[in-house]
Amino acid sequence: MQSEAGPGALHAAIIMDGNGRWATQRGLPRLAGHHRGVEAIRRTAEACPDLGIGTLTLYAFSADNWQRPADEVGGLMRLLRSYLRNETQRLARTGTRLSVVGRRDRLPNGIPEAIAQAEAATASGGRLHLRICVDYSARDAIIAAAQRLQGGEATRESFGELVAGTMHGSPVDVDLLIRTGGEQRLSDFMLWEAAYAELHFTDRMWPEFGPDDLAAAVAEFARRERRFGGLKTAAVPAAA
Ligand code: FPP
């Protein structure tokens, strides 16, 4: 599995947490935090190419988020609908290819069609692949992939393709996984793709996240030594 949008481009994935608390701390309804979260999506995505990020995967709505109160779920779905309607032109203009990753059969009427239109209109974008996860569950993806395998042989590569395919995604390993909002957990996000991801947790609430925070995460990532289970190259003894 590789990163997209050019050789060496990073795949960053973000759990956009803290919208509700950001709003509540200001005496605002939780949905106000989600609205501000859309602005954070825009400025964060537009900062990616200059930071060497070719793929950005954002966790907008998990399969377990259906349990939230109906007004919050409805508000998030309206936000998704307006994002697809209002943002597509800007994404196309900035060379951003949009994909929506997750189940589509439980989304409200008209949204699957709007997703297909936005994906088609931005398909030629080569600066950034922006993947927004909606009704997404990594564990459900793995279960669905296992069911499709039906006892057949699999490699990590072929199984990774099945896992991604069950959620309308493409198989791309996550290099850098960021979670905002101060919590330190993965919440059923990219469990297969993040096998060797470097993790970065920040207290910044998502509505306040922006290019400087992303740059700080990338700078910390660049200082990490990734070994993928092997040894540091210099520490491998020369063959006798
Ligand atoms: C988690 O924070 C955030 C979400 C469940 C929704 C994230 C959604 C957006 C950033 C905007 C929606 C964008 C599109 C394109 C649909 P939380 O609300 O659980 O925060 P809390 O932990 O502070 O309550």
Index of the ligand 1 atom closest to the CA of residue 37: 10
Give the chain's domains with CATH numbers: 10-201+213-223 (3.40.1180.10)
> Rounded to the nearest whole angstrom, what is the distance from the C-alpha of residue 4 to the centroid of ligand 1?
26
Asked if pLDDT for residue 233 goes beyond 80, the answer is no
> Rounded to the nearest whole angstrom, what is the distance from the C-alpha of residue 15 to the centroid of ligand 1?
9
Q: Give CA 66 to chain center in angstroms.
A: 18
User: 131-189 pLDDT, tens per residue?
Assistant: 999 999 999 999 999 999 987 899 999 999 999 999 999 999 999 999 999 999 999 99
pTM of the model: 0.94
- Mark whether 86 is an active-site residue: no
pLDDT reported for residue 151: 77
- Mark whether 65 is an active-site residue: yes
Contact 112, 176 (CB under 8 A): no
pLDDT reported for residue 5: 59
**Secondary structure class of 170 (helix, strand, coil):** coil
Index of the ligand 1 atom closest to the CA of residue 80: 16
What order do you get walking across the sheet with 198-201 strand by strand? 96-101, 128-136, 53-62, 10-15, 176-179, 198-201
User: 91-141 pLDDT, tens per residue?
Assistant: 999 999 999 999 999 999 999 999 999 999 999 999 999 999 999 999 999
Pocket of ligand 1 (CB under 6 A): 16-21, 34, 37-38, 60, 65, 76, 79-80, 83, 132, 181, 206
Ligand 1 mutation pick, 14, 15, 19, max ligand atoms within 8 A of CB: 19
User: 6-54 pLDDT, tens per residue?
Assistant: 667 999 999 999 999 999 999 999 999 999 999 999 999 999 999 999 9
